[in-house]
């Protein structure tokens, strides 16, 4: 076993041939504290294995492992002056600190390796992240259904949440979701994220379906939009027409249109519902589509990419925007308007300003924005941000 006594002395003498090689920290320590000559001498020995059989296999076996060179005759010491005495004294006081720093720094790579293997590193912070670490491409929007509930050092902190509720906005984060059976749905759990109880004129909720799950109809006069986050569903119309919706697909169902949704696998939906505001002689139609089929729209003065899932014509009293930001991009306009918003962050992370508060946000987070709350977003991190945004449109605010 390597013992500190093996390197006692100013020349860092090598251990006897019967002792095991020193650990990497000690080799780095001695090579740095003994000067540029190396660990025990100024030249690389071709017979370093003679000193110890395992020395050649050591990660730093290229360091010199030879006996120290013959000592030169000592030079005559100069007379000690007050300044040179203080200089040597300060140097001696700094050496122990320098040695400790070198040992700590040399141990850092080992700690990093251990963290990656032992499950405490960045990539192993959550089991679902193994896909990213292995290089395999994860499913679209997988972070919404497998969110990071809290930073690793706060996961076990009782009562911790990033969720916030204020008069004019709310941030609802995944650790705060409460699921319960959805009324009249079969084998389906739901978590209401936004509702009139918060001050909104719409509802926004997650629905988790399984094999054999089936939807129920919304209340009379209520329109519905379904967006698939995970899995797939079969949408059936009253006429008998059916539509298969995969991840990133959606369906808008006008008020009072009879329909049903069934699933034969684990499926997660985000659903928006609101009481339809009628305009005489205007009637919306069933819309079934997918995000990638929607054209990119112009955004004067902005850098983000915008798609709208519904037509912009008068029959539709709300729309769903899909907005993409590359890392470092942000909204140019600090918006203040009469429209309400319900937002779900599908990918990425960033900073959202709501009123006078600034919130770090990430995939899986939900935000409610009341009318006239100041709002602004900047995308951070290394991947793009994509969020889905509800917005009421085409209606007079007095209605």
Of 385 and 3, which is predicted with more confidence? Answer: 385
Question: What's the rounded mean pLDDT across residues 138-144?
Answer: 88
Of 164 and 4, which is predicted with more confidence? Answer: 164
Query: Is the pLDDT score of 55 beyond 50?
Result: no
Residues 6+ apart with CB under 8 A from 330: 303, 376, 377, 378, 379
Please give the pLDDT value at position 152. Answer: 63
User: For residue 149, what pLDDT band results from cuts at 50, 70 and 90?
Assistant: low
Please give the pLDDT value at position 122. Answer: 32
Say if residues 352 and 300 touch (Cβ distance below 8 Å). Answer: no
Please give the pLDDT value at position 159. Answer: 84
DSSP letter at 72? P
This prediction has a pTM of 0.67
The Cα-based distances of 348 to 143, 167, 271, 325, 344 in angstroms read: 9, 27, 21, 9, 11
- pLDDT tens digit string along 77-90? 555 454 554 455 55
Q: Which of 278, 162, 135, 266 is nearest to 211 (CA)?
A: 266
The string of DSSP letters for 137-152 reads PPPTTHHHHS---S-G
Question: What's the rounded mean pLDDT across residues 268-297?
Answer: 97
- pLDDT tens digit string along 344-384? 999 999 999 999 999 999 999 999 999 999 999 999 999 99
For 80, other C-beta atoms within 10 Å of its C-beta total: 9
Question: What's the rounded mean pLDDT across residues 163-180?
Answer: 96
- No. of H helices and E strands in the chain? 5, 20
Long-range contacts, stretch 200-203, CB < 8 angstroms, 24+ apart:
200/340, 200/342, 200/368, 200/370, 201/274, 201/275, 201/340, 201/392, 202/272, 202/273, 202/274, 202/318, 202/340, 202/342, 202/390, 202/392, 203/271, 203/272, 203/273, 203/274
Please give the pLDDT value at position 231. Answer: 97
Q: How many residues does the chain have?
A: 399
Q: How far apart are CA 63 and CA 379, in angstroms?
A: 47
Write down the domain spans for the chain.
178-293
Q: What angle do CA 140, 145, 151 make, to 5 degrees?
A: 110
Query: Is the pLDDT score of 212 beyond 70?
Result: yes
- pLDDT tens digit string along 96-139? 444 444 433 344 443 333 333 333 333 333 444 444 445 678 88
Query: Is the pLDDT score of 62 beyond 50?
Result: no
Q: Which of 111-115, 175-179, 201-205, 273-277 has the lowest average pLDDT?
A: 111-115
Q: How far apart are CA 19 and CA 335, in angstroms?
A: 71
Please give the pLDDT value at position 145. Answer: 85
**What b/e sequence results for 287-310 when a residue is b if at least 16 CB atoms lie within 10 Å of its CB, and e otherwise?**
ebbebeeeeeeeeeeeebbbbbbb
For 92, other C-beta atoms within 10 Å of its C-beta total: 9
Residues 6+ apart with CB under 8 A from 358: 351, 352
Helix (H, G, I), strand (E, B) or coil at 176: helix
CATH topology of domain 178-293: Jelly Rolls (2.60.120)
């Amino acid at each position: 076993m390597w013992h500190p006594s093996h390197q006692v002395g100013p020349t860092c003498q090598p251990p006897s041939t019967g002792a095991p090689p020193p650990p990497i920290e000690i080799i780095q320590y001695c090579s740095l504290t003994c000067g540029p000559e190396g660990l025990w001498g100024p030249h690389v020995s071709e017979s370093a294995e003679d000193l110890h059989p395992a020395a050649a296999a050591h990660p730093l076996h290229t360091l010199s492992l030879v006996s120290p060179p013959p000592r030169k005759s000592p030079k005559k010491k100069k007379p000690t002056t007050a300044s040179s005495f203080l200089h040597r004294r300060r140097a001696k006081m700094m050496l122990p600190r320098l040695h400790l720093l070198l040992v700590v720094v040399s141990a850092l790579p080992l700690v990093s390796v251990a963290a990656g293997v032992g499950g405490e590193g960045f990539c192993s912070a959550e089991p679902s992240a193994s896909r990213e670490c292995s290089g395999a491409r994860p499913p679209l929007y997988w972070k919404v259904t497998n969110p990071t509930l809290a930073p690793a050092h706060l996961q076990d902190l009782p009562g911790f949440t990033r969720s916030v509720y204020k008069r004019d906005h709310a941030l609802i984060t995944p650790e705060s979701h409460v699921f319960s059976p959805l009324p009249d749905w079969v084998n389906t759990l739901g978590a209401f994220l936004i509702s009139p109880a918060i001050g909104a004129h719409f509802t926004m909720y997650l629905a988790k379906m399984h094999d054999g799950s089936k939807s129920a109809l919304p209340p009379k006069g209520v329109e519905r939009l379904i967006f698939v986050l995970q899995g797939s569903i079969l949408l059936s119309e009253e006429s008998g027409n059916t539509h298969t919706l995969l991840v990133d697909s959606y369906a808008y169902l006008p008020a009072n249109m009879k329909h049903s949704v069934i699933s034969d696998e684990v499926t997660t939906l985000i659903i928006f519902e609101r009481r339809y505001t009628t305009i005489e002689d205007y009637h919306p139609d069933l819309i079934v589509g997918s995000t990638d089929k929607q054209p990119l729209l112009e955004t004067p003065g902005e850098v983000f990419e915008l798609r709208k899932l519904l037509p912009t014509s008068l029959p539709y009293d709300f729309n769903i925007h899909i907005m993409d930001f590359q890392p470092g991009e942000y909204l140019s306009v600090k918006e203040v308007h009469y429209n309400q918003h319900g937002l779900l962050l599908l990918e990425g992370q960033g900073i959202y300003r709501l009123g006078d508060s600034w919130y770090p946000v990430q995939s899986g987070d939900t935000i409610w924005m009341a009318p006239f709350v100041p709002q602004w977003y900047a995308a951070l991190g290394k991947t793009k941000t994509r969020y889905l945004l509800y917005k009421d449109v085409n209606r007079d605010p007095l209605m």
